[in-house]
Amino acid sequence: MDNLLAGTRMRRNRRTDWSRRLVSENALTTNDLIWPIFLVDGTSVRQPVPSMPDVVRLSVDEAVREAEKASALGIPALALFPYTDPDLRDDTGSEALNAENLTCRALRAIKSEGLNLGLMTDVALDPYTSHGHDGLMDGDRILNDETVDQLCRQALVQAEAGSDVIAPSDMMDGRIGAIRQALDSQGHRDTQIMAYSAKYASAFYGPFRDAVGSSGTLKGDKRTYQMDPANTDEALREAELDIVEGADMVMVKPGMPYLDIVRRIKDEFHVPTYAYQVSGEYAMIKAASANGWLDGERAMLESLLAFKRAGADGILTYFAPKVAEILASNQ
């Protein structure tokens, strides 16, 4: 055995660039990217999000421009998230059911351009509620089944406006099956569902809540319906339930701190599995880069490659346009 090992030199394959490329086990491509964008009312608005450097809230006309950019770069899909005016928020999140709300107007405007681009929409009530929670409430208690009924109506409004992928992020029990049934019953059988199957009650969501305007309204926390960061077997149960109920794709959120969850779900179920590199992850890389503490571009690319290595079929990331430009320049 010692004689056999004496001939082994792992560094031979690492010695040159061409050899490293030849034996590379994973690759990041533009096809792996989903670009989340934030919407805001107005015209010609590009409103910076202070806690997310280089990320802006976009009026519908500007969102159309970014959609054209995404299509030109070969990014497969955008995920739309609205900043809802506080005057439109109420206890029930009724603006979510308005066919003329910000998300629906953006869907129709982008779809009218005829781009080769998928549009994904968030199904949850937190951008629309005055209390900042994802569901309807009775005092301090989240009402699961009543919320699911509301989410079904929200999903139908979005599908009618042109959403290609309904992405429920609320973590209510039974919502995937109910939404699938609602979509099918109204002729939206081809509308896909990407379930936020393992969405954790994480500290990494802060900048996102700033971007959609829910950080100042959230009362309490979301630990009664989002997952405990200590749990992993529970994530498998959540994913299995969503798949059985009709999810076409499943997602893990956040990303980097939960790569073990991505791997376990992919290995167990062999379904299209995605991860969300959330706002806190993005902000940390940008802040460290701005302070000169790390090479921002290398850290960005390395972090996304880690998702692929863990088994993710794609990543929702605010870095999407920058990464797509880099990948294009390297071809």
User: What tens digit of pLDDT does each residue of 58-111 get?
Assistant: 999 999 999 999 999 999 999 999 999 999 999 999 999 999 999 999 999 999
Confirm if 149 and 179 have CB atoms less than 8 A apart: no
Q: In Å, how far are 98, 123, 183, 223, 321 from 177, measured between CA atoms?
A: 23, 14, 10, 23, 33
Phi-psi region of 315 (alpha: psi -120 to 50; beta: other; left: phi over 0): beta
Range with the lowest mean pLDDT among 149-158, 187-196, 213-222, 229-238?
Answer: 213-222
User: How many CB atoms sit inside 10 A of residue 66's CB?
Assistant: 18
Higher pLDDT, 235 or 8: 235
Question: Does the annotation count 69 as an active-site position?
Answer: no
As a dihedral over the C-alpha atoms of residue 215, residue 221, residue 223, residue 228, rounded to 10 degrees, the angle is 60
Mean of pLDDT values over 245-272:
98
User: Which one is predicted more confidently, 295 or 214?
Assistant: 295
CA 35, CA 71: separation in Å to the nearest integer? 11
Selecting among 69, 111, 222, 253, the annotated active-site residue is 253
**119: which strand partners?**
78
DSSP state of 271: S
Cα gap 162→183, rounded to integer Å: 13
Distance CA 151, CA 166 (A): 11
Give the Å distances, CA to CA, from 192 to 75, 101, 121, 177: 18, 21, 11, 13
Q: Are 280 and 295 in contact (CB under 8 A)?
A: no
User: CA dihedral defined by 156, 157, 158, 164, rounded to 10 degrees?
Assistant: 40
CA–CA separation, 234 and 281 (whole Å): 23
C-beta separation of 31 from 74 below 8 A: yes
Of 233, 104, 241, 232, which Cα lies nearest the Cα of 172?
A: 241
**Amino acid at residue number 293:** W
Task: Report the C-alpha gap between 59 and 62 in whole angstroms.
Answer: 5
**Residues 200, 255: contact at Cβ < 8 Å?**
no
Tokens for 274, please give them: 């995605």
Give the chain's mean pLDDT: 95
pLDDT of 1 strictly over 60 = no
Checking if the pLDDT of 229 tops 60, the result is yes
Give 218's Cβ-side CA count (13 Å radius): 18
Closest CA to 78 of 325, 296, 300, 314: 314
The yes-or-no verdict on residue 3 having pLDDT over 70 is no
Residue linked to tokens 């910000």: 102
Indicate which residue of 199, 222, 286, 308 is catalytic: 199
Q: How far apart are CA 92 and CA 153, in angstroms?
A: 13
d(CA 93, CA 157): 14
pLDDT tier, 7 (very low <50, low <70, confident <90, very high otherwise): confident
Q: What is the pLDDT of residues 98-130, one digit of tens each?
A: 999 999 999 999 999 999 999 999 999 999 999
Q: What's the average model confidence in pLDDT over 14-23?
A: 94
Q: Is the pLDDT of residue 6 over 80?
A: no
Distances (CA, A) of 269 to 239, 247, 252: 8, 12, 14
322 is catalytic: no
Cis peptide before 257 (omega within 30 of 0): no
The answer to whether 275 touches 262, Cβ cutoff 8 Å, is: yes
Give the 3-state secondary structure of residue 85.
coil
- Helices (runs of H) and strands (runs of E) counted in the chain: 12, 12
